[in-house]
Chain A
Amino acid sequence: MTTPRKAVALISGGLDSLLAARLMLEQGIHVEGINFYTGFCVEGHTHAIRKKDKKKPKRNNALWSAEQLGIKLHIVDIIEEYKDIVINPKHGYGANLNPCLDCKIFMISKARQWMEDNGFDFIITGEVIGQRPMSQRKELLPVVVRESGANDRLLRPLCAKNLAPTLPEREGWVDRDKLLDFHGRNRKPQMALAKQFGFEDYASPAGGCCFLTDANYAKKLADLWEAQHEKKYELDDIMLLKVGRHIRPKPNYKLIVSREEGENKFLSGYRKNFTHIETTSCGGPLTLVDGDVTEEDIETASRIVARFSQGKNEDSVTVKITHINGDEKTVNVLPMPPSEIKQEWYV
């Protein structure tokens, strides 16, 4: 009896990678999944910070996929290494700040390294020719193969018949005749295959998996870089961009104003790292002040916080300001009328 060949599958949590891995299992390949965490991954849990979203099912789709497939999943933290991809993408950005081609090359390169370190034979992905405008164009697929160093050990089972045979096919590790020829943006073939395999309740078929493709999120990241006069970030920075209203009254500071109880709780975990403002005379949002501020800035900030409190129509709202050094001060402020909060302050 021969030992089965081993493939590492990039598992995003979406339908395509689920199907690609399943096709390999059908051929008797030993498959283990790998999932990379960049910090920008869109997960139900991020949305679940907000209390109103907490009734939605919470699950990690990559783990769910692995469980459906009955395979191991290795989740790899690439937050630090990934910064260079986001900040200096060799192939540029897509519509927003999404470096999709560089990202794909980087992830396949990391998978190749994992494959070599763990004695696996090849890599599989759920890529489909022509499905995505940046990273899955036909002329760019060879770029991924070459620059990742995966070369002919990268197999794309869903569209392999549209591509030259790879090493696993040429060596007979997998039967090319049983691979597929999907192409383009039409999702019906994937849905039909999912039904055939009995997969239900999979993640949104065309769902994006990265905040960097989101225009609103990208705008906040661009604002962060502009304020810092430098393209750089820490994990906390990019987590906070997912939460609250971001309001920048002046270039030297911005406010992160929670929108409801769930965000209040999440932001409260950051209180020690920021000067923060809370209303005490009525219910209101916890607000973090990000930047170096003057007394005048703090007064403006307090009036904005009061505007988003339950006392927004009162003549006076009491707020407690806690500076980053721990000093506390309580003041009464007039809530800022909406007409004074300039639209361009909203990031």
Chain B
Amino acid sequence: MSSYKLDARNMLCPLPVIKTQDKTAELKRGDTLEVVCTDPGALNDIPAWCRINGHEVLDTRETGDEVIITLLVS
């Protein structure tokens, strides 16, 4: 199990979701992925994408202009 980070800053929806989808496809069950975005919509969309695809959102937080979503590949 490993931890990964994805830079999706300066991308507008749905690109952060697409990047998350594509990165997750490369990972193994139990890996975690931290996605850093500047589009605040990602705070809704990445968790929605996780729910419909069976991944678990471990944490969401906002720091300044960035939103950070950490998910567990399930």
Most buried by B among A60, A62, A70, A269: A60
In the complex, A41→B40 CA distance in Å?
Answer: 17
Near A by CB (< 8 A), chain B positions 5-42 give: 9-10, 12-15, 17-18, 21, 38-41
Q: How many A-B residue pairs have CB under 8 A?
A: 74
In the complex, A62→B21 CA distance in Å?
Answer: 14
Give chain A residues whose Cβ lies under 8 Å from the Cβ of B65: 265
Interface size class for chain B?
20 to 34
What 1/0 mask marks residues of chain A from 18 to 60 whose CB sits below 8 Å from any chain B CB? 0000000000000000010100010111101100001000111
B49 touching A73 by the CB < 8 A rule? yes
Which residue on chain B has the smallest CB distance to residue A77? Answer: B18
Give the residue of A73, A76, A269 whose beta carbon is less than 8 angstroms from that of B38. Answer: A269
Does more than half of chain A's interface fall in helix, strand or loop, or is it mixed?
mixed
Near A by CB (< 8 A), chain B positions 35-70 give: 38-41, 43-45, 48-49, 51-53, 65
Give the residue of A37, A49, A58, A74 whose beta carbon is less than 8 angstroms from that of B15. Answer: A37
Q: A48-B40, A59-B41 are in contact. Are A75 and B51 (CB under 8 A)?
A: no
Give chain B residues whose Cβ lies under 8 Å from the Cβ of A62: 14
A58 touching B21 by the CB < 8 A rule? no
In the complex, A73→B51 CA distance in Å?
Answer: 11
Does more than half of chain B's interface fall in helix, strand or loop, or is it mixed?
helix
Q: A37-B15, A75-B18, A77-B18 are in contact. Are A64 and B48 (CB under 8 A)?
A: yes
Q: A72-B53, A239-B12 are in contact. Are A63 and B40 (CB under 8 A)?
A: no
In this complex, how many residues of chain A approach chain B with their Cβ under 8 Å: the count is 29
Q: Report if A66 contacts B (CB, 8 A).
A: yes
Q: A37-B15, A49-B12 are in contact. Are A59 and B39 (CB under 8 A)?
A: no
Q: Report if A336 contacts B (CB, 8 A).
A: no
In the complex, A157→B65 CA distance in Å?
Answer: 44
B45 touching A63 by the CB < 8 A rule? yes
In the complex, A68→B19 CA distance in Å?
Answer: 23
In the complex, A6→B52 CA distance in Å?
Answer: 18
B49 touching A63 by the CB < 8 A rule? yes
Q: Report if A71 contacts B (CB, 8 A).
A: yes
Between A and B, 30 residue pairs with Cβ closer than 8 Å are: A43-B13, A44-B41, A45-B13, A45-B39, A45-B40, A48-B40, A49-B12, A58-B13, A58-B41, A58-B43, A59-B45, A60-B17, A60-B41, A60-B44, A60-B48, A62-B14, A63-B14, A63-B49, A66-B52, A67-B48, A67-B51, A67-B52, A70-B52, A71-B52, A73-B49, A73-B53, A74-B21, A75-B14, A75-B21, A269-B38
